[in-house]
Structure 1
């Protein structure tokens, strides 16, 4: 009670720096060790953290000090590393998606339940003040009964800036599985679980050219759809329209809008923790900003770990495995619908995560 949660990180790629910064400033968390297939990359990641051990995966899993494994590997091995952590008796928290397939994700959840350990998963951005303030506005009835939502993510592709973008265009990647978790997690946080979907998909190019780093100019194959559109039917009856693209250039659409009988909300980018929520009410003066009223203030990637540590045993963390599994199931169902041209029932469900009161992230 009151002791920091001891963490070991597996995977020291591009995202690790953001997690390291958050762990370093949150007293609830303590980094013990890191591991990577490239030990030099792991050493460089923690070169400013002399007390953190650099080791291989097997040694990290065997380290009795480590209570939770933070899984920052590529999606294709998320399940493999998570299952190793569970087998070692450790909690596991991973980058999104929970696994490359819902079948693998189910194996992780079942193994964790049998071992008596818990599973958490990014994105934790939905715990920040942006999505949480919008959720409170909905719960407080500021837009009346919700009717519909839109979620739009458009970019010409991550290969322009990422030095090793291969996994974005391989199974487990694509705009939906890469960016969809932010948007769908936010929609579920605000509007509840999804019962069915209908989707369509396309791809414009068979190869992508890397635009930066030591592999600049190299081409990587594209084996997944790179533009996905769909409609999510929530259990509440709300209809959410989703566009996820690695093909289009730009958009002026809001990242997320939620529309109700009495008003509409503009919700900030769910890839960020904060941002301004705007409300337009029927008969009102137009779009006006709402004051920040809920969520972790000053949050960064990894605040979900602090929330995880503060969640009592037997209770699902807000950025928990059940939500992550449902999000993955929704995305797989969208892809299945895109392939078949038919609506698909989403077999899983989840509890709508508990709201986050306005809280300093350092005291999560």
Structure 2
């Protein structure tokens, strides 16, 4: 389906868990997106979600997928169900935007890309945090030569799991979960957005616990079995020549290390505190720069204790939690018959990188990455107004 969008791009939501709230709040701000139906394995959950967000219909998964008036499926199911729901939607001719990870199996990923291409449909996939103002600022700095040729990247996220804040953390500790698949997509997507595709990787992993104790909600005190590694270390080599390292962990009680940094010939870009609450999920936050000519890029005086570091001016939009922005971009991509920024190709490449990192300890230290992907374009600084649609007035938005 290409060409002119209808008055609203009609979306059917499948998966009404906690993550759906921020998607629905974001999408309600834009006139071109209309979430017209929602479904969940739990009918009570979907009915409550429909009432909370003024969605016209709560119905079964099959009814959402088969509805000919729906243009696109927003797939927010658990990771193990992503591929099945996406495939069913593509088969009946619907575009799909899915939560991460794209799939949990390489062959399923290839089949979905082939199916979408054969049917001329758009595939989009989270994370779309790289479309936020913070990460757009980082990419702009690189494109403008602020640090010269990028030579390296570093990401470290140390948390102590999801059972402290998530009432049903089971799927994080089953195949398809774990810190690499849960947190890795945010940082790998940002790396690829800034540095291009990955050529080869190495990895090691272990786990600290065979069981985790839920510490909140109605299941407080219940134990969850751990079936995946929960501490992952990796090395990455990018097609353009940069190299990097990444730590993703559910086994770290605390750390002074967490940050995301990109190193270049003439400078460093630093994203402080990239943790799952304040960094990976955030579209906004400070971007620090240190170069031989830092003052050229700065809009603030140097902070105390950070000699020669400056916070860079952020000229981009979406400096708040804007999950669902990738779906909005997909709607424009359908209208204009152009590539999706948070695309299936990008997400499949990210998944292959993670899959190779997980394989490396068993099959050999270095794993070659077979796939590649286009580097997404920067958003226009006045997106979405530049695309011809206006957001809903604030008082009318949910």
TM range (shorter): over 0.9
- 8 Å CA contact retained: 1:296, 1:361: no
- 8 Å CA contact retained: 1:133, 1:295: no
**Residue 274 in structure 1 maps to residue 266 in structure 2:** no
Which secondary structure state, in structure 2, belongs to the residue aligned with residue 308 of structure 1?
A: helix
- 8 Å CA contact retained: 1:138, 1:144: yes
**Number of positions where the alignment pairs a residue of Structure 1 with one of Structure 2:** 364
1:202-221 pair list within 5 angstroms: 202-221=206-225
CA distance in 2, matches of 1:361, 1:172: 34
**Residue 304 in structure 1 maps to residue 326 in structure 2:** yes
| 1:254–1:161 distance in 2 versus 1, CA, 3 Å | closer
Q: How far is the alpha carbon of 1:286 from its aligned partner?
A: 1.1
| 1:298–1:272 distance in 2 versus 1, CA, 3 Å | closer
| Equivalent residue for 2:165, pick from 143, 161, 164 | 161
1:80-159 pair list within 5 angstroms: 80-159=84-163
Q: TM-score, normalised by structure 2?
A: 0.88
Unaligned runs of at least 5 residues, structure 1: none
Greater alpha carbon shift after TM alignment, 306-315 vs 245-254: 306-315
Which secondary structure state, in structure 1, belongs to the residue aligned with residue 163 of structure 2?
A: helix
CA distance in 1, matches of 2:287, 2:73: 34
**CA-to-aligned-CA distance 1:97-136 (integer Å, 9 cap, x gap):** 0011222111111111222211100001100111110001
Partner of 2:310: 288
CA distance in 2, matches of 1:283, 1:298: 30
| Equivalent residue for 1:315, pick from 338, 350, 367 | 338
CA distance in 2, matches of 1:139, 1:37: 45
Partner of 1:190: 194
| 1:296–1:362 distance in 2 versus 1, CA, 3 Å | farther
CA distance in 2, matches of 1:37, 1:362: 37
Q: CA RMSD in A?
A: 1.6
CA distance in 1, matches of 2:120, 2:53: 31
| Equivalent residue for 2:28, pick from 24, 28, 50 | 24
Unaligned runs of at least 5 residues, structure 2: 273-278, 295-306, 388-398
Greater alpha carbon shift after TM alignment, 45-54 vs 62-71: 45-54
Partner of 1:181: 185
Q: How far is the alpha carbon of 1:216 from its aligned partner?
A: 1.6
**CA-to-aligned-CA distance 1:18-49 (integer Å, 9 cap, x gap):** 11101111212101000000010111112134
